[in-house]
């Protein structure tokens, strides 16, 4: 058997292994391409597109799709494509920021609970308690209660952004914390951590240098699901009319506005709904592929 | 088994108290004034009196205790009175809505059947669709059926109910005109014709919610079936010469159902959460719409009570899932 081992083979890096496995999952690859195209479109689009999202042109209101306005215009003559891109910017920004916050809380609590045995019981009970909170009603209540003080402090748009991101962040960290804790518990008993401990390395350094890189893969998978969750929650809040102010487009807000014109212009609900669904679908496929790619057992050597 | 159930029951009491504290503090520490709607001509002394009548002048812990007593002591008494025609609760102060000035629980009891009817029906439909599809996809892994099933599941997972709901309204109500877009709760079924109308108005909300359930349970069913199909006991059963139907539908299915049943129990509260949005889309005047209405109207007692009831549902079904798991799988009880 040793003859078959090619000693001169190039050393394979982990990143290349992961990429090779990821490529073999067609849905994940397509999901990644679609997601990054959407992100690119909403980031760069507003600079290229001649219409502004809030530019009112009352004479060309309620138009159907045309060359000038590919997605038509709304009841105030604002270009729907421009509003879609502006809305996507906000929705995706909320998704990313909420994901970052929830990952931070989740990994912090997960690593602390896994690494320090004394804190484990308390922190996990705390996580369980959070898991039994009714999240959507609480989010709605938070929107109701803190909207005005934050709007006064940071301005209506930024205040709402902070509020939505923070509320989603503090209500979605629990699954990450549980997964990370389980991984840390297993890692803690491994030889390299024991060796680091024996040689007198400080706890902080062990966590940062030895534990964190090894729990990165579950964290990355949670990250993709976190973006999807953030986008859906923000859209749901905006759809219920408890999100961003009415003149500030997000995908959920656009969908909510379109519902008022359901009888006359039914096609209007289509674009924002499609954008939300396509983004979330591509992220979910991306997450699926990432999970397979980062799992060494799935990787063919 | 009894000690196991007792232990689980005891854990859920502090959980409930913690949740009620969170809900209470969140609502009471936030700045807002229930007297904001009262006309400015009312003198400040009278406003102060009205505040005290609502129990707002007292320290926070007194308010919290009073709320707990109302919720856990007086409301059950009202319920017992109603059931057995007794008079335990006479003259006792119940949780009063600021919006309608009537007891919150009475409104919830009025709204509950609509929610239960739509939500419960969608859950049953979703499960009935998901389980056979999950079994067959796992049995024929990577077949065309499996691929399509996985894709539909992914869509059910990713497309939010506020889009599927609006989308089916556009197609079936606006374009085709087959189904009503608004759910009429005053409609009563007396004969075949009214039954058909009831069926028509229920199809869309039920199917929209059922898509979510199907996606979730189908995915899980397929995964556990796959886990079990590769086990040794399946090979043994086949080697004994049992028919394929017996192997899959009796041996494998029974073992796979254990985790699936707990997932079904665990997700009941999540479905109620999803119903908030679906009720809003189809204008079902259930408990979710009551919550949204109360939030818009700044009606704190109603918001507190409904949110707390959602929490009770979660704790209750977590408990139920644990107990079912313990009954079905003896290995769980003995740890």
The residue among A127, A139, A141, A269 with the most chain B CBs within 10 A of its CB, best to mutate, is: A141
Model pLDDT for residues A133-149, shown as the tens digit of each residue: 888 888 888 887 787 77
> Do the Cβ atoms of B276 and A136 come within 8 Å?
yes
Whether A226 is in a domain gets the answer: yes
Q: Which residue has the higher pLDDT, B233 or A11?
A: B233
- Give the nearest chain A residue to B172 (CA atoms): A266
CA–CA separation, A176 vs A220, rounded Å? Answer: 10
More confident call, A183 vs A265: A183
Rounded to two decimals, the ipTM of the complex is: 0.78
CB contact under 8 A, A134 and B277: no
Residue B105: inside a domain: no
Q: What does the pLDDT read at residue A301?
A: 42
Question: Which residues 6+ apart lie within 8 Å of B321 measured at CB?
Answer: B262, B263, B265, B266
Cα A234 to Cα A12, A34, A70: the distances in Å are 41, 21, 26
Number of domains in chain B: 1
Chain A residues with beta carbon closer than 8 angstroms to that of B318? 132
**Is B82 domain-assigned?**
no
Q: Which residue has the higher pLDDT, A173 or B185?
A: A173
Return the pLDDT at A1. Answer: 45
Q: How far is B158 from chain A (nearest CA, A)?
A: 5
Residue B43 within a domain: no
Dump pLDDT digits (tens) for B189-238.
777 777 777 778 788 888 888 888 888 888 888 888 888 888 888 888 88
pLDDT number for residue B88? 66
Question: CA of A253: which chain B residue's CA is closest?
Answer: B162
The alpha-carbon gap from A153 to the nearest alpha carbon of chain B, in Å, equals: 14
Determine the residue of chain A that is closest to B32 in CA distance: A145
Q: What Rg value do the Cα atoms of chain A yield, rounded?
A: 23
Interface with chain B: mutation pick from A124, A127, A145, highest number of B CBs within 10 Å: A145
pLDDT score of B16: 84
Percentage of residues in chain B having pLDDT higher than 90: 0
Q: Name the DSSP letter for residue A9.
A: S
Query: Does residue B275 form part of some domain?
Result: yes
- Look at A273 and B315 and tell me if their CB atoms are within 8 Å: no
**CATH number for the domain including B137?**
1.10.3720.10
Q: Please list, in sequence order, all residues whose beta carbon lies within 8 angstroms of the beta carbon of residue A18, skipping any fewer than 6 positions away.
A: A293, A294, A299
User: What stretches of chain B show up as alpha helix (H) in DSSP?
Assistant: 2-29, 44-53, 60-69, 75-84, 104-139, 144-158, 161-168, 192-229, 232-239, 244-246, 253-266, 268-282, 287-296, 300-328, 330-333
**What is the number of structural domains in chain A?**
1
Is A124's Cβ below 8 Å from some Cβ in B? no
Q: What is the CATH number of the domain that holds A183?
A: 1.10.3720.10
User: Which chain A residues are within 8 Å of B19, Cβ to Cβ?
Assistant: 129, 132-133
Q: Which of B32, B33, B99, B160 to mutate to test the interface with A (most CBs of A within 10 A)?
A: B160
Q: Would residue A6 count as lying in a domain?
A: no
In a domain, A150, yes or no: yes
Of residues B23, B158, B269, nearest to A284 (C-beta): B158
Q: Quick: pLDDT tens for A235-244.
A: 888 888 887 8
The residue assigned the tokens 């679908």 is A281
User: To the nearest whole angstrom, how far is the Cα of B246 from the nearest Cα of chain A?
Assistant: 31
Q: Is A253 within the bounds of a domain?
A: yes
A260 backbone dihedrals φ, ψ, rounded to 5°: -65, -25
Sign of the torsion angle spanned by Cα atoms A50, A55, A59, A61: positive
The H-or-E segment that residue A1 falls in is none
Which residue would you say has higher pLDDT here, A246 or A96? A96
Whole-number Å distance between alpha carbons of A170 and A149: 19
Per residue in B166-182, pLDDT tens?
888 888 877 787 777 77
Question: Concatenated DSSP letters for A48-89?
Answer: HSSS-TT---GGGTT----SSSTT-B-TT--BHHHHHHHHHH
Shortest alpha-carbon distance between residue B35 and chain A (Å): 16
**pLDDT score at B33:** 61
Q: How many helices (H) and strands (E) does chain A have?
A: 12, 0
Chain B residues whose beta carbon lies within 8 Å of the beta carbon of residue A144: 295, 298, 303
Instruction: Count Cβ–Cβ pairs < 8 Å, chain A vs chain B.
Output: 117
> Across chain A, what does the average pLDDT equal?
82
Range of the domain at A134: 17-43+77-299
Asked if the structure places residue B316 within a domain, the reply is yes
For B188, the domain range is: 110-328
For residues B127 and A170, give the distance between their C-alpha atoms in angstroms, rounded to a whole number: 31
pTM for the full predicted model: 0.82
Chain B residue at shortest CA distance from A142: B26
Give the DSSP H or E segment for A216. helix A216-239
Percent of chain A with pLDDT over 90: 6
User: Which pLDDT score is estimated for A5?
Assistant: 56
Residues 6 or more apart whose Cβ sits within 8 Å of residue B107: B97, B100, B290, B302
| DSSP letter for each residue of B142-185 | TSHHHHHHHHHHHHHHHS-HHHHHHHHIIIIIIIS--S-SS--T
In the predicted model, residues of chain B with pLDDT beneath 70 are: 29-38, 53-57, 87-93, 332-335
| pLDDT confidence of residue B55 | 63
Contact B166 A269 (CB under 8 A): yes
The answer as to whether A63 is a domain residue is no
């Amino acid at each position: 058997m040793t003859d078959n081992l090619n000693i001169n083979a190039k050393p394979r890096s982990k990143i290349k292994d992961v990429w090779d496995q990821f490529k073999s999952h067609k849905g994940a690859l397509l999901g990644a391409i679609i997601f990054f195209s959407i992100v690119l479109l909403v980031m760069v689009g507003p600079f290229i597109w001649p219409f502004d999202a809030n530019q009112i042109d009352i004479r060309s209101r309620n138009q159907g799709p045309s060359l000038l306005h590919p997605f038509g215009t709304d009841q105030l003559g604002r270009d729907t494509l421009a509003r879609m891109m502006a809305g996507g910017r906000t929705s995706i920004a909320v998704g990313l920021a909420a994901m970052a916050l929830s990952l931070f809380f989740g990994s912090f609590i997960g690593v602390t609970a896994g690494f320090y045995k004394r804190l484990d019981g308390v922190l996990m009970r705390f996580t369980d308690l959070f898991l039994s909170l009714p999240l959507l009603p609480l989010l709605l209540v938070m929107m109701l209660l803190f909207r005005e003080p934050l709007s006064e402090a940071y301005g209506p748009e930024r205040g709402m952004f902070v509020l939505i991101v923070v509320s989603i962040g503090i209500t979605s960290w629990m699954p990450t914390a549980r997964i990370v804790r389980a991984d840390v518990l297993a890692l803690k008993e491994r030889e390299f951590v024991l060796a680091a401990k024996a040689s007198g390395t400080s706890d902080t350094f062990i966590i940062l240098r030895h534990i964190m890189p090894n729990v990165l893969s579950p964290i990355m998978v949670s990250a993709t699901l976190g973006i999807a969750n953030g986008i859906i929650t923000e859209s749901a809040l905006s759809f219920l009319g408890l999100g961003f102010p009415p003149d500030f487009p997000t995908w959920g807000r656009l969908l909510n506005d379109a519902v008022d014109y359901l009888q006359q212009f039914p096609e209007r609900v289509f674009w924002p709904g499609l954008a939300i669904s396509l983004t979330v679908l591509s992220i979910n496929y991306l997450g699926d592929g990432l999970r397979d790619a980062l799992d060494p057992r799935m990787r063919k050597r | 088994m009894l000690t196991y159930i007792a232990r689980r029951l005891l854990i859920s009491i502090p959980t409930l108290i913690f949740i009620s504290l969170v809900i209470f503090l969140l609502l009471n520490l936030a700045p807002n004034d229930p007297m904001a709607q009262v006309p400015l001509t009312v003198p400040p002394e009278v406003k102060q009196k009205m505040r005290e009548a609502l129990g707002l002048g007292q320290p926070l812990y007194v308010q919290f205790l009073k709320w707990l007593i109302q919720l856990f002591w007086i409301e059950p008494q009202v319920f017992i009175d109603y059931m057995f025609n007794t008079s335990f609760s006479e003259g006792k102060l119940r949780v009063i809505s600021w919006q309608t000035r009537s007891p919150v629980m009475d409104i919830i009891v009025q709204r509950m059947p609509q929610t239960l009817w739509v939500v419960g029906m969608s859950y049953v439909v979703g499960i009935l669709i998901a389980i056979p599809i999950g079994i067959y996809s796992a049995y024929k892994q990577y077949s065309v059926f499996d691929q399509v099933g996985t894709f539909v599941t992914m869509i059910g997972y990713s497309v939010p109910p506020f889009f599927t709901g609006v989308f089916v309204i556009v197609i079936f109500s606006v374009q085709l005109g087959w189904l009503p877009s608004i759910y009429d709760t005053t409609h009563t079924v007396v004969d075949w014709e009214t039954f058909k109308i009831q069926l028509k108005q229920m199809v869309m909300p039920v199917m929209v919610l059922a898509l979510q359930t199907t996606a979730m349970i189908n995915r899980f069913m397929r995964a556990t079936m796959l886990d079990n199909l590769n086990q040794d006991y399946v090979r043994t059963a086949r080697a004994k010469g049992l028919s394929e139907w017996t192997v899959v539908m009796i041996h494998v299915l029974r073992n796979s159902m254990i985790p699936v049943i707990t997932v079904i129990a665990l997700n009941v509260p999540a479905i109620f959460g999803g119903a908030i949005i679906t009720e809003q889309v189809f204008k079902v005047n259930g408990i979710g719409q009551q919550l949204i209405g109360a939030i818009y109207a700044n009606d704190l007692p109603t918001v507190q009570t409904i949110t707390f009831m959602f929490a009770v549902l979660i704790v209750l079904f977590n408990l139920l899932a644990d107990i079912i798991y313990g009954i079905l799988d003896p290995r769980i009880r003995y740890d």
